[in-house]
């Protein structure tokens, strides 16, 4: 098959011909790739090979591609419930299946937890890469049958290639307690992850959604999605905490989803914390990396919860598919920038422009 592989830390893709993947286990599935999302941060991750002890990358040359959707081509002898011809999204979260966390039903805390087609979270990820070395930038990929989300006809492959961001936002919003009658602030709301959070907060029944970002034009486009429930604030135009309290009768918001990425100042997160009502929750999903100075006594006295959320389960991914099929989750808002497999370098350059969350850069086959 054809695959665009990375051969060195430059992050540049090269078109190669490699053997067709084999099913190593009877519970594995072979998927013909139809679409794969392009992560804007991919080149930055590749360029730091070996520099981050808590991140493990596959040996080069490697096939990357995190968010993959396609059609089942072949199934292992022990697979039930999945059949050739099924439309699926490959949830790339891989775990060993036998460590303490896996046996406790918490695979994202596995000592070998790995994103197929991207990176892992420790040296044990090397073994996972040997089992599942195929990302989405190839014509076929293998995955365990229990790692698949079945897609309804109403969800296109391009939309499914956004499930990584959608699922991350959904899992974080669930941990934050967002639901009917709740208010939520989304920091970085016009970005790739933040816009997904806005759409899911709408689907989950949040009554007020406070969207914070820096670009007024993009924020206006976000507000237009649901003028009845969405309020927008351009960060730097005033005091965020005061604005939130003026919009909530002085109470503050029930939850904050912080989708600000690496490189942002910790001040943004601190301002979001100060926007919370007593007993509120802030969930970090954007990987803000600036050290965060906290007064834990103040946080304790306000009963504020600060937590993080990493990725999402297959079950949560299936929830997204059901919500989209029911029409409660609107995936029509994305502007798809489609590239052929051979154009992976151009696709990554486009994604790196970070033109806002409405743009969905995807490789289609």
Of 65, 58, 61, residue with least CA distance to 18: 61
How far, in Å, CA of 42 to CA of 338, rounded?
17
Kindly report, residue by residue over 54-102, the tens digit of the pLDDT. 678 899 999 999 999 999 999 999 999 999 999 999 999 999 999 999 9
pLDDT tens, the chain, 365 aa long: 999 999 988 889 999 999 999 999 999 999 999 999 999 988 888 876 655 556 788 999 999 999 999 999 999 999 999 999 999 999 999 999 999 999 999 999 999 999 999 999 888 999 999 999 999 999 999 999 999 999 999 999 999 999 999 999 999 999 999 999 999 999 999 999 999 999 999 999 999 999 999 999 999 999 999 999 999 999 988 999 999 999 999 999 999 999 998 888 999 999 999 999 999 999 999 988 889 999 999 999 999 999 999 999 999 999 999 999 999 999 999 999 999 999 999 999 999 998 999 999 999 99
Q: What is the pLDDT of residues 168-186, one digit of tens each?
A: 999 999 999 999 999 999 9
Distance CA 234, CA 314 (A): 35
Angle between helices 163-175 and 314-326 (to 10 degrees): 100
Q: Are 115 and 92 in contact (CB under 8 A)?
A: yes
Helix (H) or strand (E) segment spanning residue 272:
helix 266-273
For residue 220, what pLDDT is reported?
Answer: 97
CA angle at 74 for the pair 71 and 75, rounded to the nearest 5°: 110
Q: Which residues pair with 362 in a beta bridge?
A: 37, 338
Residue 227 CA from chain centroid, whole number: 25
3-state secondary structure of 192: helix
pLDDT at 361: 97
Q: What is the pLDDT of residue 112?
A: 93
Contact between 120 and 93 under an 8 Å Cβ cutoff? The reply is: no
Task: Return the number of other C-beta atoms located less than 10 Å from residue 122's C-beta.
Answer: 15
Residue-range domains of the chain with CATH: 2-162+334-364 (3.90.180.10), 168-308 (3.90.180.10)
């Amino acid at each position: 098959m054809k695959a665009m592989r990375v051969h060195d830390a430059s992050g540049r893709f090269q078109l190669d011909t490699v053997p067709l993947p084999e099913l190593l286990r009877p519970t594995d599935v072979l998927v013909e790739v139809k679409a794969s999302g392009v992560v804007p941060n991919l080149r930055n991750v590749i360029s730091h090979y070996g520099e981050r002890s808590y991140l493990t990358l596959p040996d080069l040359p490697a096939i990357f591609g995190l968010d993959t959707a396609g059609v089942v081509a072949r199934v292992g002898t022990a697979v039930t419930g999945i059949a050739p011809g099924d439309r699926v999204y490959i949830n790339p979260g891989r775990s060993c299946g036998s460590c303490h966390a896996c046996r406790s039903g918490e695979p994202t805390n596995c000592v070998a937890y790995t994103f197929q087609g991207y990176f892992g979270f420790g040296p044990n990820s090397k073994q996972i890469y040997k089992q599942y070395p195929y990302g989405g930038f190839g014509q076929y990929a293998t995955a365990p049958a229990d790692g698949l989300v079945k897609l309804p006809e109403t969800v296109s492959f391009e939309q499914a290639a956004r499930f990584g961001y959608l699922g991350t936002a959904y899992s974080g919003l669930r941990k934050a307690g967002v639901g009917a009658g709740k208010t939520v602030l989304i920091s970085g709301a016009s970005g790739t992850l933040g816009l997904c959070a806005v759409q899911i907060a709408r689907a989950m029944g949040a009554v007020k959604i406070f969207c914070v970002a820096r670009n007024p034009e993009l924020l206006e486009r976000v507000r237009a999605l649901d003028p009845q429930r969405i309020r927008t604030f351009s960060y730097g135009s005033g005091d965020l905490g005061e604005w939130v309290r003026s919009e909530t009768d002085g109470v503050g918001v029930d939850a904050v989803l912080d989708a600000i990425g690496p490189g942002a100042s910790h001040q943004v997160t601190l301002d979001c914390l100060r926007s919370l009502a007593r007993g509120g929750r802030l969930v970090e999903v954007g990987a803000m990396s600036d050290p965060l100075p906290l007064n834990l006594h103040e946080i304790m006295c306000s009963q504020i919860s600060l937590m993080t959320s990493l990725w999402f389960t297959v079950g949560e991914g299936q929830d997204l598919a059901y919500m989209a099929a029911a029409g409660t989750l609107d995936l029509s808002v994305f502007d798809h920038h489609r590239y052929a497999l051979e154009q992976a370098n151009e696709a990554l350059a486009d994604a790196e422009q970070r033109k806002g969350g409405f743009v969905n850069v995807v490789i289609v086959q």
